[in-house]
Chain A
Amino acid sequence: MRKRLLALGASAVLLLAACSGGGGSATSTAGSAGGSDTLTIGEISFPASWDVNGLSIAHYVTYFDAVYDTLIRQDGTGKLVPGLATDWSYNTARTKLTLTLRSGVKFTDGTDFNADAVVASVKAFKASSTPDLSNAQYISDVKATDATHVVYTLSAPDPMLTRWLTGSLGFMESPKSLTAANAKTNPVGTGPYTLDIAKTVTGSKYVFDKNPNYWDHSYHVYKTLTINYYESPTALLNALQGGQLDASTFADFSSLPQVQKAGYTVNRSQLDWSGLIIYDRNGKQDAPLGNVKVRQAINYAIDRAGVLKAIMDGNGTVTSSVFGKATAGYDPSLDSYYSYDPAKAKQLLTDAGYPNGFTLTMPSSSLINQSLLTTVQQELGAVGITVKYTDVGSNFVTDLLGGKFTSSWMQLASANDWQFAQLALVPKATFNPFHAGSSDANALLATMQSGSDADAAAAAKKLNTYVTENAWFVPFFRIDNLFLSNSHVKVTMAADNATPYLYLIQPAS
């Protein structure tokens, strides 16, 4: 009996050893990193659906870039380059944008890509419930003047329109697919790959095959692309250490030494800033916030370098300005406009008529880093401002946008001047629930919208200075976005997207 058991056990071990596939080998179960003409990417998000009018940018862009092309692209510096459109131009009033389209391109269902397809796409976008609906807010009409020319008519100048055409508004889906019942699960674009539905497991593993009829030969398209979604940071770290991935989004700063030891290069970009937004800067509800000295005091009360070290392990750049490095309004001298000076903060509060400070109510949520909230409370408390937190749970953003709080922590993207202005600066901005503003700021915003490129850039710089000096916000730092790559791939980070565009992830050799 004992001998039989031993023999059985030995056989089992031998069988398992024979069946095992090592990490990174051809039998690796999650895709072969560095395999022949295959690219395996790790991601921390997966697309809700393949509907181009859903969430398709940020960490979803690698998925969508695989099957769809945009009308315009960006190179790594943020410069606009041709995509499905080869040329574009505005009229003098900047209320008409004419695109010249590439000819001879087909969708993977055989439908021709032409001006009618673009018109259908824009109309579907405007009729959808896409979260990026505001991108099309100024488009009053879109017409195909011939097969290769489209004219967008705008109700007002939109400096962001050509940028939007590199993102969700610019993804082109086959007109037949726009109205198909399976549009959410079966993407039909002009992109470099087609989705292998048989091998794909929604919410886990997405496998793409090279589109043999792809029109763009300017960059390498792999034979097979696999994008693996990792819900658990531990699983992603293990996959990287096991060499299963060629490239990956990565957000676990504390594990950077381990992935670097595993041979990965850490590529960085900065898009978002983290800090406080003072919504009620006109003092309608919280009178102290209407005083510029109070807002400046809050800026001086925060130890930005300390917070960056404690919260992000130093992965970011301290700043006092909300205009990101990729914006025309960026001014490096404003990064250090406010130093950490609690004594000066107290003096400013006294000068403003609040020698004993005052109380601020801010929202808290399990969605936010609790250490950060505690630090803010402590540092403001040290200068006399008592912060009381109200837990709003998962309704954090809803409550903010509804004007329930006069200030809060927030993290916002700031990679494009007008985009950021629409998000947080214009009186009707999403994150301006109290519609705060000033005539000086409004004048600069008007130039940013309607002026020439040079005038808009100059206005953005002035606005950055104005907003910083008047302490509309209390930014702490710009956050590093990380994207890892092994020795087989070369990555160029995008100027305005957290994840590189797929065409910027190429073989190293």
Chain B
Amino acid sequence: MLCAKHKTGLVFFPAFDWAISPTHPEREERLLYTQDQVFEEGILDIEGIEEYRPDLVNVKDVQRVHFCVPSVWDVMTESHFISAGGAKTIGMAVMDKRIERGFALVRPPGHHAMRVVHGARGFCNVNIEAIMIEVLRKAYGINKVAIVDTDCHHGDGTQDIYWHDPNTLFISIHQDGRTLYPGSGFMQEFGGPTALGTTLNIPLPPKTSEEGFLYVTENVVLPILEEFKPDIIVNSAGQDNHYSDPITNMNFSAQGYAKLTSLLKPDIAVLEGGYSIEGALPYVNVGIILAMAGIDYSKVKEPDYNPDRIRQSKDITSYIEKTAETVLSLWDQRVSIGEKFRGKDKIAERSRRLFYDTDNISENQNESLMVCPDCSGVLKIDSTSSRGKHILAVHIPRDACQACKERGYEWYDVKPHGFDIKFLQDRPQDKYLEDHKEKK
């Protein structure tokens, strides 16, 4: 009889009544054939695989991570409360040791959602992994978390949220930003001045196949994880690196995804993108579930799988080997680079223009970070969107020192203020404030 080596939990929430729009890739049908395959394989009958019903996240869970403009209710649909809730359900089951590992097979996804949310970017409104991680930090007191994002698109939202957090290692493996949305995720994106080296990007060239993905996993990701020693490993398990995905250009496979999962051994996996809904998702998801549970997946192959047809060229192999070397040397030099980067400035500033492709919104951000020697530094964001809202957002990090805590409240209490909304995230006290300008 089949039996899971690792007790594995599953939340399966296909949101059969939710879509961005009727013909959008993120539509009702997306996980239909995956459900068919999972049911027909009898996966939920396997001893040691347990299905959970998703809980909902609450507003505070979202506020802990995001500044939602104008409010949480305005940027989230019911389905987002459930998909983030599904991730939370799995995370809590792992922390409670009811399961050893878990996979939240949920939609809609979240890894393009940044700290400030004016609307949807890259099919994402809120970052479901970050919401889950911060719930777990609050409820179970864990500190060091590693997120390995294996979606084909750069996880720019997760990167943004953890850019200044030295206790969250974010590694994204994705198709090179010069050839794909969102156009970021280059090696030199390496974390903010107080968290250098805990953001790592591994951009891979189009047509990278199993060999390339597994090479960087074994030679870059695993050694770095080994050194970082996270309390938990989260995998943002996008499945659009598949050779049949309609909106990307990679050559990964179900066998590859399953092997990658066996190597990575994530405590929690959360589904992200993946839009080859018939040819890839049913097989990739079955492969990932079996790999997590430690069950033989050797026969999980797409009907048209032909490793020779998708094998990567020698040029690609050597290009990837060079990329891997660069990322590793960046990681090794993170401390010395960090010292150089910090310079003498007490406050580091950054201005950005961001685009929300799904909702067609543009945003201008000016960010100020207190480059603090004692903590990761209080952060202030001044943001204006093309929808006309001008906001101030202040983030006091979990590890904030006394001076940064006070500085945070000073920044928030600025008077008179010309903002439509002011926000404060006081993470040490788990307190969240909002101040909406009164309508004249």
Partners in one complex: no
By a beta-carbon cutoff of 8 Å, the part of chain B in contact with chain A is none
Instruction: Mark A residues whose CB is within 8 Å of B.
Output: none
